Structures are given as C-alpha cells and as structure tokens.
Amino acid sequence: MFNAIPSPYLAPFDNTFKIKKYPAAPPKHGLSKQDCKKRLAELSLTISDLQRILYAHNQYSILLIFQAMDAAGKDSTIRAVMDNVDPNGSQVYSFQKPSEDELKHDFLWRTVNKQPPHGRIGIFNRSYYEEVLIVKVHPEFLRTQKIDASDVNEEFWENRFASILDHEKHLARNRTIILKFWLNVSKKEQKKRFLSRIDEPQKNWKFSKEDINERQYWDEYMNAYQTCISQTSRPWAPWYAIPADDKSFMRMCVADIIVATMRSLGLTYPRIGQDEHKAFQKMRDILENE
C-alpha cells in the first residue's frame, strides 16, 4: 500500500495530533506570494502531465479530500491546483446537506459510488468526515438519521471512526491513493474574510448568516477536528494540516504534496510487447499504402 509523503504538515499516525503544533500562518521567511503563485503554476502543469500517465496506466486512482472551516479557501484551492488537469481525468464532488434518500442509508453510502475509478483523480469538497465534524458539534442533526440521542455516546463516535478507517483501508488495498487536506485557517483570518464578503459587493453572494452562527462554535469545531485527524491519519490515508491564512502558500503546499505523491508511484506510459509492436508495424504498412 501507498505510504504518505513526508511533510512538516503531515499529521502523525499514532493518535497524537495536536492543532496547537500546526500553525495557520505560513513560515515567516518562506516564499513571497509571487513566488508561491509561480511555483503553483509549475506544479499544476506537472499534475496535468502526471494525470495523463495515471490515466494511461489505469491501475491507480487518487482521492483528494478537502475539509475546512468556512472561508478557508477549499473551492478556490481545488480550482487553482487542478486548473490544468483534463476534465476527463478528474471529477469533483461537493457534499452538502444530505438528501432525504441519502439519510435512509448509512453515513458512508453517499460517497461510496462517487469514488474515482482507476486512472482518474477524484476530489471531495467536504466528505463523510462531516459526519464526525459538523454532526459531532451539532448532534441534534442525528435525529434526521433516525438515531436516538440515548445512543450517542463515546462508543458511537469511536464506531464511526472505525468505519472510516475500515473504508479507507479497503480503498487503499484496492489501489486508491488517499490524500486528506485540512485547510487550517485561523479565527482571526476567517473574521477578515467574512468582513470582505460583507464589504465587497462581488463577494456578497458568498456570505450567509449561518457563517456567523457556526463561528460561535469555533472551539467545539477545533476539538472535533483535532480528534478526527488524530483518529484517522494513517500512512495509507494521511491528513495534512495546511496553513491556510495565506492562500497562495496554501495552494502551493497542496499541489506540492500531490505532485510528490504521484511521482512516488513511479508510473510510466504503458509499453507495448513484441507481438503488439509487430501488429503496429503491419497497421502502419496498411495506412501508408492506402
């Protein structure tokens, strides 16, 4: 199975992840915004090249999972990182409030048939992790899943984590490479971005009063993220806690990890055998003699 690419933002695999050890701001003496954008452009082109080989090789799939607080930049990061990738070789799914039909199934059901097939990159903008994040902060949502409050205890959440670990290990065994990105935006930066959504007319559509309501639960969300990442970061399905207060740096980091991961697979374009080569030569002769 795949093993995670080392990074200063890689969450440990021994259930010891602590948010306070992972800054939301980029390194003080890191690359400038301009250099980050230039590097991102190069990495995005490389992802495109590697995706073509992934598609031709047709033995692995890649699943990218993005989770974050509101205004962290999930949508824009996905757009920027995947900008040059052939749409036929990737697919993006955004998981919002579960539908009536989805609520009739187990919490993993709605994502299972959205897994990327071999040769493609799948992107989850939010995911089944909402079920141990927003639902953990708002356990009242479980009523819509016909789960009684008396059944919601520590064992209930441990079972959900166990289901996620089993699910991801199954995917990894079957050649799906899983990368999970938590875009770590600070409360101060989120406030700044919310204010810009209010003050700038072209951003008004992004703002909702629900954003302010959820902000009141910041500490509860941080506790939920810390537990979630600690419980589910594994070598075959690692979490990366990416500093998100600077969007240029964040996007570059995400792209860099994706490129390093894809390169680590050592994939090449398929080579034809001797028999196929002879057949190709005959077809060449036919075409040239038309």
Domains of the chain (ranges; CATH) run: 19-288 (3.40.50.300)
Write out pLDDT tens, residues 206-227. 778 888 899 999 999 999 999 9
How far apart, in Å, are the Cα atoms of 114 and each of 34, 109, 264?
36, 9, 25
How far apart, in Å, are the Cα atoms of 149 and each of 128, 208, 213, 225?
20, 29, 23, 22
Q: Which residues of the chain have pLDDT under 50?
A: none
How far apart, in Å, are the Cα atoms of 37 and each of 31, 32, 75, 222, 249?
10, 9, 17, 29, 8
Instruction: Supply φ then ψ for residue 121, to 5 degrees.
Output: -105, 125
For the record, the structure tokens of 104 come out as 């009739």
* Confidence at residue 267, expressed as pLDDT on a 0 to 100 scale: 94
Which of 179, 146, 186 has the alpha carbon at shortest distance from 24? 186
* Confidence at residue 266, expressed as pLDDT on a 0 to 100 scale: 95
* Confidence at residue 199, expressed as pLDDT on a 0 to 100 scale: 87
For the record, the structure tokens of 253 come out as 């980091």
Write out pLDDT tens, residues 134-186. 999 999 999 999 998 889 999 999 999 999 999 999 999 999 999 999 999 99
